[in-house]
Chains A and B, each alone.
Chain A
Amino acid sequence: MATATATSKFSGVDFYNIDSLLSEDERAVRDTVRSWVDEHLMPVIGECYIEGKFPKQLIPGMAELGLFGANLPEEYGCAGLNNVAYGLIMQELERGDSGIRSFASVQGGLVMYPIFAFGSDAQKTYWLPRLASGQEIGCFGLTEPDYGSNPGGMITTARETKDGWVLNGTKMWITNGSQATVAVIWAKTGELSDSKSIRGFIVPTSTKGYTAKDQKGKLSLRASDTSEIHLEDVHLPKDAILPKSGGLKSPLNCLTQARYGISWGAIGAAMACYDEAASYAKSRVMFGKPIGQTQIQQVRLADMLTEITKAQLLTLQLGRLKDAKTMTPSQVSLAKRNNVNMATECAREARRLLGANGILVEYHSMRHMANLESVYTYEGTHDMHALILGQEITGLSAF
């Protein structure tokens, strides 16, 4: 929202009047999140990144705006938005920082979504409003130290006892792991060779035997907590299981939701870098003229704008397909792969255009560039998504 005292305001990138393809409320949602990012996230993100701290103080504000699980129904305290508006939220958050978008993706797409999709009525009624309001913070435990691209090989187990379940195992690369109050943990209830026995469990992180420690030394997503989780004889009641979860397809279904959001988020990061580069090119004078007057920088900017515009159009159509309930996981793979790669290229080119200034935290492109290396790798690496598409095209699996 414009205020008379507004400092620097981000005005987006819209070369093809794509705004005209959005509804009034989709634009309103986008604008409200954009203003929130300008007013609350941008002033603190540089410091958080340098210090390696997630800006926890922003959680209540994010919840109050309704950013968590915004595409889930109103009866659970959510905003009930369509998937395009949800995508625009992710775009705007990641325009600020991929780590903040990751936080919201995990809370909504990977914690609230599985409870909504696979949970009992009692689980939904209890957990969803608490997660929407930020009273509870969630994390999603699927990846293990030796099972990243191949989650079906996981060795975390859930053994049924007479009064519940006992979980054992280790999860790694878990966003929000150390600050979460509740974890959705995926574990095998049968033989280790049986990926169909994978089920989801709701684990309050205060449960005895649950420990999480932050992974140190990250050079990417520094404003986001990434943790390793240990589960040692974690005893859970019978109703901790997500009753409608079954097999590897359940967590993969969650990842489709999160990847959908990432496709939008990457556009936001690319827009931030393009905006910064375009403005710098016009004002930075070298050899007596703005560097934007040189062919090499013009080509850089033209390439960025072209790729951003293409990604905007393909992702908007992906959102329309999701709202029409005809979107397929491989369509999401195409968008995640294309957009994140596009954003990493934009960030790198923007950083180069910025010259020496581009390595400073006051500018955003290098932060985005470093963040996007994680985004390129998580939620299905760039290469895995190529293989998913390859399988779709040929009917032959290469993995």
Chain B
Amino acid sequence: MKVAVCLKRVPDTTTKIVIGSDGKSIDENGVKFVPNPYDEYALEEAIALKERAGAGETVVYSLGGDSSQETIRTALAMGIDRGVLLQGAGSADGFEVAKTFAAELKGGGFDLVLFGKLAVDDYNMQVGPMTAELLGVPCITTVAHLTLANGAIEAEREIEGGIEVCTCSMPAVLTIDKGLNTPRLPSLKGIMAAKKKPLEVRPVHVGVGTLMVSSLTLPPERLAGRIVGEGPDAVPALVSLLRTEAKVL
């Protein structure tokens, strides 16, 4: 079982975001970066698949600057065997990113390529399926339950109001939803071992593509609440405000 995981370095979800002076990127000053949380499910699944198979290899790929090495080390500390940093600036155009990954993964002999279902920084959900298309292999997105048997994949997807079961053959690309597993924390020994695992740096050139971010804005600040009264006496005022002001009734 040979499994690749494509990993993205994203701002910690608890970070307070400040928009940069260009108005279309975030100010990275003082921002803590973490592995994309959905990618952590993919990492866990890759490690667990290899553990269950008893043999194989797990490789993590990340596209980004040198700071992404720290993100890759986190994956190695969890138990991934080796890492590859595709060193270069990313692109807002998911197709360009997918082309970069596909070029690296082609001929790698992977049975499975795993992505998180989305990256929490841009919510595009594109790179996984596009990479599959470029590799010419099937893709199942938002996998919440996975069974592998005799080279066949059976995956459950949580869709609105139900569960959809999909099957395909290997090799394939899967994008992983939360709920598939519980990602392990890197153990202290794992962190020390990660320092000795191979981390290859390969410069890449990512095209600009055709999709651009033109501006970023923060959501409007929530207005303070208001107490309209107490007990049953407050009900008429509340109902009236729900009708006239909130317009939800």
Which residue numbers of A lie inside 8 Å of B, CB to CB? 1-6, 9, 11, 17, 24-25, 28-29, 32, 35-36, 39, 64-67, 70, 74, 79-81, 85, 89
Contacts and interface: CB of A to CB of B under 8 A. Distances in A.
B24 interface: no
Contacts, number: 78
8 contacts: A1-B34, A2-B40, A4-B38, A6-B13, A24-B73, A28-B73, A35-B185, A81-B188
A35 B13 CA distance: 14
Contacts of B186: 1, 28, 32
Contacts of B185: 1, 32, 35-36, 39, 65
Nearest to A10: B14
Contacts of A80: 189, 192
B42 to A, nearest CB: 12
Contact of B34 (A2, A17, A79, A89): A2
B188 A1 contact: no
Contacts of B183: 1, 3
A329 B32 CA distance: 36
A4, A29, A66 interface centre (most CB from chain B within 10 Å): A4
A37 to B, nearest CB: 11
Given A28-B73, A28-B74, A1 B40 contact: yes
B191 interface: yes
A80 B189 CA distance: 8
Given A2-B34, A3-B37, A66 B12 contact: no
Given A2-B37, A28-B73, A28-B74, A81 B192 contact: yes
B187 interface: yes
Contacts of B13: 2, 6
Nearest to B116: A4
A154 B225 CA distance: 64
B189 A66 contact: yes
Nearest to A5: B178
Contacts of A9: 14
A70 B185 CA distance: 16
A4 B188 CA distance: 23
Contacts of A6: 13, 37
Interface in B174-226: 178, 182-183, 185-189, 191-192, 194-195
Sort A-B residue pairs by CB-CB distance and give the 6 closest, nearest first: A66-B188, A79-B188, A4-B37, A4-B178, A2-B34, A28-B191
B74 A66 contact: no
Contacts of A1: 34-35, 40, 74, 183, 185-186
Contacts of A4: 37-38, 41, 120, 178
